[in-house]
Structure 1
Amino acid sequence: MKLSKLLLFAALISAFSACKKAKIEKEHPNIVWITSEDNSKHYMDMFDEHGVPTPNIASLAENGVVFTHAFSNAAVCSAARSTLISGCYGPRMASHYHRKLEKVPMPQGIEMYPAYLKAAGYYTGNNNKEDYNIIKSDSVWDESSKKAHWRNRKPGQPFFYVQNIGTTHEGCLHFSKEDFETKKTETDPDKCFVQPNHPNTKLMKYTNAWYRDKIMEMDRQVGDILAELKKDSLLENTFVFYYGDHGGVLPGSKGYLFETGLHVPLVVHIPKKYEHLVNIKPGTKNDGFVSFVDFGATILNLAGVEIPKGIDGKPFLGKNISEEELNNRDETFSYADRFDEKYDMVRAIRKGKYKYIRHFEPFNYDGLMNNYRYKQLAYQQWAQMHEDKKLNEIQDQFFHTKPAEALYDVEADPFETVNLINNENYKTTLLEMRERLTNKLKSMPDLSFYPEYYLIKNAFDNPVAFGQKNKAQINKYIDIANLELLPFNEAKSQLSDLLKSDDWLSRYWALIVCTKFENEAKEFAALIKNIAQEDKELMNRVRAAEFLGMTGIENPSKVMTHALYTSKDSNEALLILNSIVLMKDGSHKYKFDIQLDQIPTTTQENKMVQQRLKYLNIIS
């Protein structure tokens, strides 16, 4: 009898424990994202020896995890945030241009990830920046405004809440000359580290100090949010993520695929109530590579919500993610294209300590004029010192054409100043990284092998489907672009045929490759002159003129100006204007006489076009 009672009691205890466990597993943790704008990990002492104290962010790590290798996939706001909200790589769905000329839809059958949380019963709130290049449905946020707050949820309702902090945004460095001369910073400028690719001037030191002051101010704001969570007794059941939304804004960071543009701080507070949902010991660091494309999948995984098929990211926290597996992740992929009115096309892969960067249009040098960027006094000084020939070779590279590819050991060379592509000791690594990136671009496929204006007209109703339909063509253009990586004598036979191709995009990419080779490709001058005058595709005429201008064979101004007047597509005109500014400011300093009344009105109405026209003194 006693044994029966004991067995019955044990059974009841077991059943109660099972019910309690099931209830715990069905419970949904709260999740808060605290996002600071425009700061890489380099300015916080918990990540970098040259950083300043951020005690409030550091407090999250006391019962949490510090991710030492967290990366934005894009180095600028809207492209980075579009990756975050979609869980999809930007070049696969054409969401990576900044700022958007037109928005793209989500891939068919997939929603922005907060929609899945909302459907599962979560309050979803965003305060308040979106900046998506993607069409958003009404199913994503309960609130997305300056009034959004977790306190607006229903009683007992779990919540996912995003708080954006704009204190560290690039605009904070648009201080005036008077500010520089009269305002003291909390951080001592003379004790500030200056990157080796920057001139070590009084202004650059001051800019570093000013920005570090903003980092500390941002940390205090993080503390205010944490105080609210504590006041509401929520820290014990809320995962809190703090991260920067991409790299920092000192010159050559934001907008560029260097570590200073991509490597972000990430700290995740693990609530005691939900420690069973993760396999990472609180109070530790993790060296596994995590990227923005993974964040949405991670949130859904923690919330116990099914991760939709068709996204590119994979979770890095959850019961099904082991600490060992996470620590073994060692790769991240990144991309940069148009930044406001400035065009470029750059892709990068980092695997372990090696970083491989592919410049598809290497003649578009990094320092090419960009209006918003050059509002910063430090940028202006850097450019002037280049003009005055007061920079050393490393500092001056920003204003010169780039190699088609670069390989860096970012542990030994954190500011990517020593390109290893010609070092025989790294030949095997170079070839492996090159192949890895090419395979990545082909597998998506990467839509940027079509010009943006063409995608807007032909693909933006369903970019992903367009990419799959034209995958073979895109892969062909990738192969053409990769002729840049060969010695010219090995590429010239193919280039000769491609310049005569019936496919205008084959000619387009062949012209870009020829411009990379510059004087080596002068033997094609007659053929390219003919393209500049006769090609049926207006942009090919511009690309041909670009080659003729870069090599000094022929002044490109007449062809480019005529193309600007002729184009009926303002987005195409924006790309033409990039070539005009390149020719004006590049080594040959070509003169342009552009008449406003000859430019179509629809072109003039394009806001990005207006930035170029202002710079060219065509409009005020």
Structure 2
Amino acid sequence: MLAIPAATAADRPNFVWIMSEDNSKHYLRHFDPDGAPAPNIEALAEHGITFDRAFSCAPVCSVARTTLITACYAPRIGTQFHRRSKMAAMPEGLKMFPAYLHDAGYYTTNNSKEDYNAQKSPDTWNESSRKASWKKRPDKSMPFFHVVTTGLSHEGQLHFPEKAMATPTQTNPASVKLQPYFPDTDTFRYTRASYHDRMTAIDKAVGDVVQELRSDGQLENTFIFYFGDHGGVLPRSKGYTYEAGLHVPLVVRVPERWKDLVSREAGSRTNGFVEFVDFGPTVLNLAGIDVPSGVDGKAFLGDGIDAAEVDARNETFGYADRFDEKYDLVRTLRIGNIKYMRHFEPYYPDGLQNNYRYKMLAYQQWRQLHGEGKLNEVQSQFFRPKAVEAIYDLEHDPHETRNLASDPNTQTILKKMRARLDQRLKSMPDLSFIPEAVLYESAMGNPTAFGQQNKTRIAKLIDTANLALSPFDESEAQLRKAISSDDSWVRYWGLVAASSIGPDAKPLTSLAKNHLSDKEPLVALRAIEFMALMSDEDIRPQLYQTIERASNEPELLQILNTAAYLNDFFGDRFTIDVEKVKSSIKLSKKGEIKDRLDYFSSK
């Protein structure tokens, strides 16, 4: 990049980001008629722009926030796992975008959550703490970039005990509209009403920041971005790549002094798609700073940005990998109102145990009612295996409950979306097709270089995984070849594809059985899953053996993920012996490992 003259308040605007944790656009009346009123956020919109199609690329904090701060898709740069087992190095020659503001003379502050999965450079923030403020800049002529995060809407706010439900909410529970995949119970109504109350608290926090800027004489010098850091937070949102997990509210207030930088009218709205990778480039562009090469995002406001071009943007990409101790590899592509979801481990139900999720009473009740057979078809989907691929018409099915992948009328668009996602995954390339345990050992010093060095191999792994998309009689020969491959990760994905196909793949049982003690523990794990799905054979001895062979934390976590799946979704066939599991583990029993062991002990 070219050297940039030092910025001054006279020639560059200020920026404030206000992020509310864990809330999708669905809980604010400004975006959804069933949401709560938020007069301060609505006032921001009157002086700016509402983005009705804004998206986090990931439905969980650390991955979403790393996407924001790097302007890069997480699976390309190795930052897609929540919680990370090891920090990823930034792509060579690239820094987190506030560093470019800092280099140009901005005072950069963060109050105070970071939660990054990548290593930041020392010049990212002048201060990042609970005391950080633009008011502490040493020279009042310095422009500033300030981030404030409020946890008033965080998931933990809904982790109340049952006795708390005796306390009335401000919002009448009888007045809220529940999503169709929820059972209509007092618990769910109280939970949603409580979250509407959280929106009121968020709105006050936004108003407080605005008043602080006004009192400091900086309101009309400052672009204010208000948005959720990803979706949430009732069940089936945070941690899931449905729209409830990815579609976030975004309002940008445009200051009077800098309104000429924006070619839109105050109070306007746009349906143009913007993603978290775009936010950093937008700030840099508004600041008059060149957007560095090597990022994935593109600006949507500022000099040289055509509003009509932004309005025409209609594509967003989403990803899910690991959430604490829970694994489930999912990729999504939305083009306009058509949403495509590719479940690479579809036999894992959405309801697979995640300890933090199930602290919420609504989650607990949902699972209990499922076990008692008291849910209808739509409400039960969460606890059943998923389709390998799904396509939803969001205009007519905004809650993504009717998968149209088998509808003869959708086959043309299905194939188009499938091909487009495939192209995107291979072009990155998507590092998740090599297990986290391998990336942990071999890639985190330079994940993007590792990806480029293995680009051809990753494309082959994606092709192997995609054998699950074909009928078994068409893919059998290729599956047999894959499961017998000299490449461990081709074997791995061959077994996953076979398990994804389901009962039709049962003729591969003898071949899969040969890999129950594969030299790679994770390949053996995939053979164990296949045998559990296809036969009545007790594969717990092989599972305990695989646990004993685990050589690093993510490898063990993935094995314990399968143990939880077998324990919870196969009746009494594969009940896990927690003492046997504990005695088999040779690694530290802390963190997410402890979470799994605590869960097994609680059963």
Would you say same fold, with TM above 0.5?
Answer: yes
For residue 547 of structure 2, what is the amino acid of its counterpart? L
Q: CA deviation at 1:595?
A: 2.7
What fraction of aligned residue pairs are identical, expressed as a percent? 49
> What CA deviation, in whole Å up to 9, does each residue of 1:304-335 have, x standing for no partner?
01110000000000121111111000010010
Aligned pair 1:47/2:24, yes or no?
Answer: no
Aligned residues of 1:550 and 1:583 also touching (Cα < 8 A): no
Aligned residues of 1:365 and 1:398 also touching (Cα < 8 A): yes
Give 2:514's match in structure 1, choosing from 530, 536, 549: 530
For residue 371 of structure 1, what is the amino acid of its counterpart? N
> What CA deviation, in whole Å up to 9, does each residue of 1:389-426 have, x standing for no partner?
10001110100110000000111111001111111111
Give 2:408's match in structure 1, choosing from 424, 432, 435: 424
Give 1:101's match in structure 2, choosing from 81, 85, 93: 85
Q: Which residue of 2 aligns with 1:167?
A: 152
Q: TM-score, normalised by structure 1?
A: 0.94
Instruction: Report the Cα distance in structure 2 between the residues aligned to 1:148 and 1:310, rounded to whole angstroms.
Output: 29
User: Bigger shift: 582-591 or 189-198?
Assistant: 582-591
> What CA deviation, in whole Å up to 9, does each residue of 1:259-313 have, x standing for no partner?
1001000000001110111111221111100000100000000000111000000
Q: Which residue of 1 aligns with 2:498?
A: 514
Q: CA deviation at 1:518?
A: 2.4
Q: How many residues are paired up?
A: 594
Aligned residues of 2:346 and 2:388 also touching (Cα < 8 A): yes
Instruction: Report the Cα distance in structure 2 between the residues aligned to 1:349 and 1:601, rounded to whole angstroms.
Output: 40
For residue 146 of structure 2, what is the amino acid of its counterpart? Y
Q: Which residue of 1 aligns with 2:587?
A: 602
Aligned residues of 1:115 and 1:140 also touching (Cα < 8 A): yes
Instruction: Report the Cα distance in structure 2 between the residues aligned to 1:351 and 1:374, rounded to whole angstroms.
Output: 32
Q: Which residue of 2 aligns with 1:38?
A: 22
Aligned pair 1:579/2:562, yes or no?
Answer: yes
Q: Which residue of 1 aligns with 2:430?
A: 446
Q: Which residue of 2 aligns with 1:178?
A: 163
Moved over 6 A (4+): 23-26
Q: Which residue of 1 aligns with 2:550?
A: 567
Q: CA deviation at 1:555?
A: 1.7
Change (3 A) 1:65 1:188: same
Q: CA deviation at 1:600?
A: 3.9
Instruction: Report the Cα distance in structure 2 between the residues aligned to 1:248 and 1:577, rounded to whole angstroms.
Output: 26
After TM superposition, the structure 1 = structure 2 runs for residues 262-301 of structure 1, keeping only pairs within 5 Å, are: 262-301=246-285
Aligned pair 1:371/2:355, yes or no?
Answer: yes
After TM superposition, the structure 1 = structure 2 runs for residues 217-616 of structure 1, keeping only pairs within 5 Å, are: 217-533=201-517, 535-589=518-572, 590-593=574-577, 594-595=579-580, 598-605=583-590, 607-616=591-600
Give 2:141's match in structure 1, choosing from 156, 181, 190: 156
Q: Which residue of 2 aligns with 1:197?
A: 181
> What CA deviation, in whole Å up to 9, does each residue of 1:543-592 have, x standing for no partner?
10111112234222111111112222222111100011111111344122
Instruction: Report the Cα distance in structure 2 between the residues aligned to 1:410 and 1:497, rounded to whole angstroms.
Output: 39
Unaligned runs of 5+ residues in structure 2 are: 1-6
Q: CA RMSD in A?
A: 1.4
> What CA deviation, in whole Å up to 9, does each residue of 1:199-239 have, x standing for no partner?
11111011000011011111011111111111111111110
Instruction: Report the Cα distance in structure 1 between the residues aligned to 2:371 and 2:571, rounded to whole angstroms.
Output: 13
Q: TM-score, normalised by structure 2?
A: 0.97
User: Bigger shift: 538-547 or 433-442?
Assistant: 538-547
Aligned residues of 2:9 and 2:142 also touching (Cα < 8 A): no
Aligned residues of 2:324 and 2:592 also touching (Cα < 8 A): yes
> What CA deviation, in whole Å up to 9, does each residue of 1:231-253 have, x standing for no partner?
11111111000000000110000
> What CA deviation, in whole Å up to 9, does each residue of 1:465-485 have, x standing for no partner?
000010000000000111111
For residue 427 of structure 1, what is the amino acid of its counterpart? Q
For residue 527 of structure 2, what is the amino acid of its counterpart? A
Q: Which residue of 2 aligns with 1:5?
A: none
User: Bigger shift: 345-354 or 275-284?
Assistant: 275-284
Secondary structure of the corresponding residue to residue 184 of structure 2 = coil
Q: Which residue of 1 aligns with 2:3?
A: none
Instruction: Report the Cα distance in structure 1 between the residues aligned to 2:549 and 2:25, rounded to whole angstroms.
Output: 46
Unaligned runs of 5+ residues in structure 1 are: 1-22
Q: Which residue of 2 aligns with 1:15?
A: none
Change (3 A) 1:486 1:419: same
Q: CA deviation at 1:446?
A: 0.1
Q: CA deviation at 1:604?
A: 1.6
Change (3 A) 1:547 1:596: closer
